[in-house]
């Protein structure tokens, strides 16, 4: 099986498992994820964080976004562009979010440009799975791979963190040349670090 086919199979399995979660499961996990995320110094002490608004059965970001904002952390959220790249905009609370394409919620304020992500202290990434090497499996659109490549080209080195459910840290994520590793994964049961 090719790496691409293996990625598709793993995505299918993870999405099927997430589809079985109840609204209560998702909400309870979101609270735990928010608590554990703030135990991670890279997020708790960050002056600025690029994050995202979770949708559906994704590991919930709502409690974490509110907590970061309440601490005075500047939070940037993505705006999906027609070419699947990401622009960035400041988070000004859940009431300032607007419905966008693909079921996403996006900030309604002034866009700061694709390079805004290169100026943050930490990047909170969506994901479906991660392995012991820290390699992250995303949805397959490449939006965050582009953002991470842009960060690397800039010379910046923000912490890269992914939110997952328990059981989504897997033995191996199929990888391709453009894939990027994360520094840590946060699950409802705690934090796991990768690399040095």
What is the domain count for the chain? 1
> DSSP string covering 148-160, please?
HHHHHHHT---EE
Give dist(CA 185, CA 192) in Å, integer: 5
Record the tokens describing residue 112, joined without a space: 């700061």
Is residue 133 one of the residues assigned to a domain?
Answer: yes
- Residue bearing tokens 């500047």: 74
Q: Average pLDDT of 168-172?
A: 95
Domain membership flag for residue 196: no
Question: Average of pLDDT values for 32-57?
Answer: 95
Query: Alpha-carbon distance 194 to 138, whole Å?
Result: 17
The span from the first CA to the last CA of the chain, in angstroms, equals: 31
In a domain, 131, yes or no: yes
115 part of a folded domain? yes
What's residue 142's pLDDT? 87
Is there a domain that residue 84 lies in? Answer: yes
The share of the chain scoring above pLDDT 70, in percent, equals 99
Structural domain of 103: 3-190
The domain that contains 46 carries what CATH number? 3.40.50.10420
pLDDT band at 101; cut points 50, 70, 90: confident
Q: How confident is the model at residue 196 (pLDDT cuts 50, 70, 90)?
A: low
| pLDDT value of residue 38 | 93
pLDDT at 102 over 90: no
Instruction: State how far the alpha carbon of 100 is from the alpha carbons of 80, 82, 155, in Å.
Output: 9, 12, 31
Q: Is the pLDDT score of 178 beyond 80? A: no
The model's pTM is 0.93
Q: Calculate the average pLDDT of the chain.
A: 93
Query: Does residue 18 form part of some domain?
Result: yes
pLDDT band at 146 (very low <50, low <70, confident <90, very high): very high
- Average of pLDDT values for 18-35? 96
Task: Please enumerate in sequence order all residues whose Cβ is within 8 A of that of 43, keeping only pairs 6 or more positions apart, or say none.
Answer: 37, 49, 64, 68, 122, 124, 159, 161
195 within domain boundaries = no
Residue 152 has pLDDT above 80, yes or no: yes
Mean pLDDT of the 167-175 span: 92
Q: At what angle do helices 62-70 and 23-37 cross, to 10 degrees?
A: 30
- Arithmetic mean of pLDDT, 68-83: 95
Average pLDDT over every residue of 89-96: 93
């Amino acid at each position: 099986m090719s790496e691409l086919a293996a990625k598709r199979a793993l995505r299918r399995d993870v999405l099927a498992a997430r589809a079985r979660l109840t609204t209560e499961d998702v909400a309870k996990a979101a609270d735990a994820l928010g608590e554990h995320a703030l135990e991670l110094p890279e997020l708790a002490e960050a002056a600025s964080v690029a994050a995202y608004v979770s949708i559906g059965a994704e590991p919930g970001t709502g409690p974490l976004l509110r907590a970061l904002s309440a601490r005075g952390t500047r939070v940037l959220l993505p705006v999906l562009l027609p070419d699947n790249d990401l622009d960035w905009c400041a988070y000004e609370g859940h009431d300032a979010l607007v419905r966008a394409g693909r079921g996403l919620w996006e900030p309604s304020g002034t866009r700061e440009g694709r390079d805004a992500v290169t100026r943050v202290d930490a990047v909170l990434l969506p994901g479906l799975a991660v392995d012991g090497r820290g390699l992250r499996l995303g949805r397959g659109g490449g939006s965050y791979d582009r953002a991470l490549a842009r960060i690397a080209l800039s010379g910046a080195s923000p912490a890269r963190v992914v939110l997952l459910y328990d059981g989504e840290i897997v033995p191996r994520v199929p990888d391709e040349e453009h894939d990027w590793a994360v520094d840590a994964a946060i699950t409802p049961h705690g934090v796991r670090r990768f690399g040095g």
